[in-house]
A and B are shown apart, each in its own frame.
Chain A
Amino acid sequence: DSGVTQTPKHLITATGQRVTLRCSPRSGDLSVYWYQQSLDQGLQFLIQYYNGEERAKGNILERFSAQQFPDLHSELNLSSLELGDSALYFCASSRAGMNTEAFFGQGTRLTVV
C-alpha cells in the first residue's frame, strides 16, 4: 500500500459527459501529480500541484482541469469526454525536493463508451 488513495477504481461513462477523479496523497506530502496511461501514449504527465498551487503543466487538454484543496486532496475533472480519453489515470504524491520518491495510487480506469 503506497498510502495514495484514488477513487473510483473504475468508471464507465458516455461521450460528452463529465467526470471527477479524486486523489488523497500520503500524509505529509505536499505535491500531487496526475498522469495518464494509455496504450499508445504510455505514461504522460498532466499536471502538478504543490500545497494548493499549480506548479507545472504537461500535456493536459483544455477540457481537463484539476485543483488541490486545503486538505491537500486533489481532483481531476474531465469534461466533454471522447472515446480517446479512455485510459488509466494515476495520481502520485511526494514530499518537496528533486530527489524524493513519488508514490503512486492504484489508478482510476476510465472507459468512455
Chain B
Amino acid sequence: GDSVTQMEGPVTLSEEAFLTINCTYTATGYPSLFWYVQYPGEGLQLLLKATKADDKGSNKGFEATYRKETTSFHLEKGSVQVSDSAVYFCALRPTQGGSEKLVFGKGTKLTVNP
C-alpha cells in the first residue's frame, strides 16, 4: 500500500543552520505530496505542497521538490529560526482509490536553539 518514510529525529539545530528533513514515499501512480507542520498544542498546518513531478513547493523559506525518479520530497530551509521549532510531517495523497485521504509519515521533531 501507499506509505511515507521520513527521518525520525529528533533534530536539534542552532539558529541560522541549514535544515534537511528527508522524506521518501511508496505509491501507485502520481500522488500529490505535502509537508505539514504541527506547533506545540496545535493542529497541523499545511506548509507546502507539490502535485506533479519536478514541482517545487515553497513557503516561509522552506522548499521541497517532487522527485519522481527517487520517490522523494525532502524538506529544506537555508537558515532556521527558533520559531521553526515544531514537528514536521511529510504526507501523500494517493491518486487512486477514490479518496482524498492523506497518508502521513511518523513526523520529525525539530528543535532550534538560539
> A residues near B, CB below 8 A?
2, 4, 31, 33, 35, 42-43, 45, 48, 55-56, 58, 90, 92, 94, 96-107
Q: List 27 A-B contacts (CB under 8 A).
A: A2-B45, A33-B100, A33-B102, A42-B105, A42-B106, A43-B104, A45-B102, A45-B103, A48-B100, A48-B101, A56-B98, A56-B99, A56-B101, A58-B101, A96-B100, A97-B100, A98-B32, A98-B93, A98-B95, A99-B49, A101-B49, A102-B100, A105-B43, A106-B41, A106-B42, A106-B43, A107-B43
If A2-B45, A90-B43, A98-B93 touch, whether A42 touches B99 (CB-CB below 8 Å) is: no
CA distance A97 to B99 in the complex (A): 9
Which residues 79-97 in B have Cβ within 8 Å of A in the complex? 89, 93, 95, 97
B 40-70 to A, binary, CB cutoff 8 A, 1 in contact else 0: 0111111001010000000000000000000
Q: B46 contacts A101, CB within 8 Å? A: yes
Q: A55 contacts B46, CB within 8 Å? A: no
Q: Which of A58, A99, A104 contacts B43 (CB 8 A)?
A: A104
Interface size on B, as a range, is 20 to 34
CA distance A100 to B99 in the complex (A): 12
Which residues of B are found within 8 Å of A106, using beta-carbon distances?
Answer: 41-43
CA distance A42 to B91 in the complex (A): 12
Q: Which of B45, B51, B105, B107 contacts A99 (CB 8 A)?
A: B51
Q: B101 contacts A45, CB within 8 Å? A: yes
CB proximity of B31 to chain A, nearest CB, Å: 9
CA distance A96 to B43 in the complex (A): 21
CB proximity of A78 to chain B, nearest CB, Å: 19
Q: Which of A58, A94, A103 contacts B100 (CB 8 A)?
A: A94
